[in-house]
Amino acid sequence: MSPQAARVDLPALLREVPGDKAFGVPLARYTSWRIGGPAEALVAVENLAALCRLQAVARRHGLPLFVLGGGSNLLVRDGGIRGIVVLLRGAFRRYRLMAEDTTALVEVGAGYPLSRLALQLGQQGWSGLEFAYGIPGTVGGAMVMNAGTSLGELGQVLVAARLLLADGRVSELPVAALGLGYRTSSYPSQAILLAARLRLHRGERAAIEAVMRQAYRQRQRTQPLWLPNAGSVFKNPPGVAAGRLIEAAGLKGTRIGGAMVSPRHANFIVNVGGARAADVEALIALIRQRVWQAFGVLLELEVRIVGEPACSE
Ligand SMILES: Cc1cc2nc3c(=O)[nH]c(=O)nc-3n(C[C@H](O)[C@H](O)[C@H](O)COP(=O)(O)OP(=O)(O)OC[C@H]3O[C@@H](n4cnc5c(N)ncnc54)[C@H](O)[C@@H]3O)c2cc1C
């Protein structure tokens, strides 16, 4: 427990903040890996006013605030997350479309599921998010990760981001100011992403759906979707797929505790049952070491590791 958190009574402090709250909830329930220790406090906020109240309480008491999207790119350590974990619900899970002839601007809340948005807009004949169909998680997580595939990435359709800055001001930044790159971004420190503005263009519904169906089939063929995972663990180094290097290093099927390098796709680590974050971290370290020894390539993580190790580690 953090020194601040040791001194504060979180349930009492958060009484003035509207929204559902839970204390000591295992975050394994909220991550696609089904791994993760408890959140000291988990708060689901329904609108900007509630989020601002929460942020103000956190600021006043020096409590860390962590926004959890769909938890599909996260390894939460076994000791959990100190302070407050926030889920964006209600008003953050809506979108509004303004069509202008052959283009449309879409204002979408950061809590909206990305893949659902791609499907719904595709069904209305709006093109540009085909790549996003099948990517789990929220619009906010995709803005942070600049999520994408070989078909495209969020930065190509993102026009601007609306943010709640650490000092409580709401600001809008154009895409050029967001530092988007390959699965990376550089938002102002501690900013909470509230919404995205996207620009899509008019397309043929049937053609859009065909692209999405094809991409989804490809996922089903190549990814171990039947076991909990977090997608690609490592970024692809220039010119080569990380999975190819891991496979060539002979690591498919390698297991530590409940974590295994997927025999289906070597850049996926699957939870075969009861995996702890420590198992996944140990497997990550082993993969990096073996790939470095075999090919002189240092693999960079795509997944984000957050939280505290378990007390016994
Ligand atoms: C089966 C599978 C397939 C996948 N395929 C792909 C793929 O093809 N391409 C791809 O790019 N990714 C892929 N991923 C990874 C993942 O889905 C993406 O990175 C996704 O965009 C993460 O979104 P999320 O909401 O789950 O974010 P989370 O995992 O919840 O969070 C990721 C980071 O974003 C931060 N964050 C989230 N929301 C906010 C917010 N509102 N404000 C501030 N910070 C925020 C979190 O604090 C965290 O640091 C895959 C994952 C799985 C499980």
Task: Please identify, by atom number, the ligand 1 atom nearest to the C-alpha of residue 114.
Answer: 21
* CB contact set of 117 (below 8 Å; sequence gap of 6+): 95, 106, 108, 129, 132, 139
Backbone angles phi, psi at 6, to 5 degrees: -65, -30
Task: Please identify, by atom number, the ligand 1 atom nearest to the C-alpha of residue 144.
Answer: 34
Among the residue ranges 7-21, 74-88, 188-202, the one predicted with the least confidence is: 7-21
How far is ligand 1, taken at its centre, from the CA of residue 262, in Å? Answer: 20
- Is residue 246 within 8 A of residue 263, CB to CB? The reply is no
How far is ligand 1, taken at its centre, from the CA of residue 150, in Å? Answer: 17
Task: Please identify, by atom number, the ligand 1 atom nearest to the C-alpha of residue 111.
Answer: 41
Residue 5, pLDDT above cutoff 80: no
Q: Which of 82, 162, 183, 290 is catalytic?
A: 183
Residues 150-162 pLDDT 10s: 999 999 999 999 9
- Both tokens of 135, joined, read 């990517």
262 belongs to the catalytic site:
no
302 belongs to the catalytic site:
yes
Of 236, 205, 232, the residue nearest 219 (C-alpha) = 232
94-221 belongs to which CATH class?
A: alpha beta
- The residue ranges of every structural domain in the chain are 3-91, 94-221, 225-306
Q: Which of 46, 232, 262, 276 is catalytic?
A: 232
Q: How many helices (H) and strands (E) does the chain have?
A: 8, 17
- Provide the percentage of residues in the chain whose pLDDT is more than 90: 96
- Is residue 26 within 8 A of residue 67, CB to CB? The reply is no
How far is ligand 1, taken at its centre, from the CA of residue 5, in Å? Answer: 27
Task: Please identify, by atom number, the ligand 1 atom nearest to the C-alpha of residue 67.
Answer: 47
232 belongs to the catalytic site:
yes
How far is ligand 1, taken at its centre, from the CA of residue 302, in Å? Answer: 10
Q: Answer with the residue of higher pLDDT: 100 or 302.
A: 302
- Provide the percentage of residues in the chain whose pLDDT is more than 70: 97
Name the residue at shortest CA distance from atom 10 of ligand 1: 147
Contact residues of ligand 1, CB 6 A cut-off: 32, 66-74, 88, 110, 135-138, 140-142, 144-145, 147-149, 183, 192-193, 223, 225, 229-231, 304
d(CA 117, CA 129): 8
Residue 100: per-residue pLDDT? 87
Mean pLDDT, residues 68-85 = 98
Of 135, 149, 184, the one to substitute when testing ligand 1's pocket (max ligand atoms within 8 A of C-beta) is 135
Residues 233-291 pLDDT 10s: 999 999 999 999 999 999 999 999 999 999 999 999 999 999 999 999 999 999 999 99
How far is ligand 1, taken at its centre, from the CA of residue 257, in Å? Answer: 25
Residue 312: per-residue pLDDT? 63
Q: Please provide the CATH number assigned to the domain covering 3-91.
A: 3.30.43.10
pTM of the model: 0.96
Residue 134: per-residue pLDDT? 97
Residue 1, pLDDT above cutoff 80: no
Residue 3: per-residue pLDDT? 44
Residue 313: per-residue pLDDT? 58
Task: Please identify, by atom number, the ligand 1 atom nearest to the C-alpha of residue 147.
Answer: 11
Tell the CATH topology of 225-306: 3.90.78
Name the residue at shortest CA distance from atom 3 of ligand 1: 231
Residues 37-49 pLDDT 10s: 999 999 999 999 9
- Is residue 91 within 8 A of residue 109, CB to CB? The reply is yes
Residue 8, pLDDT above cutoff 90: no
How far is ligand 1, taken at its centre, from the CA of residue 7, in Å? Answer: 33
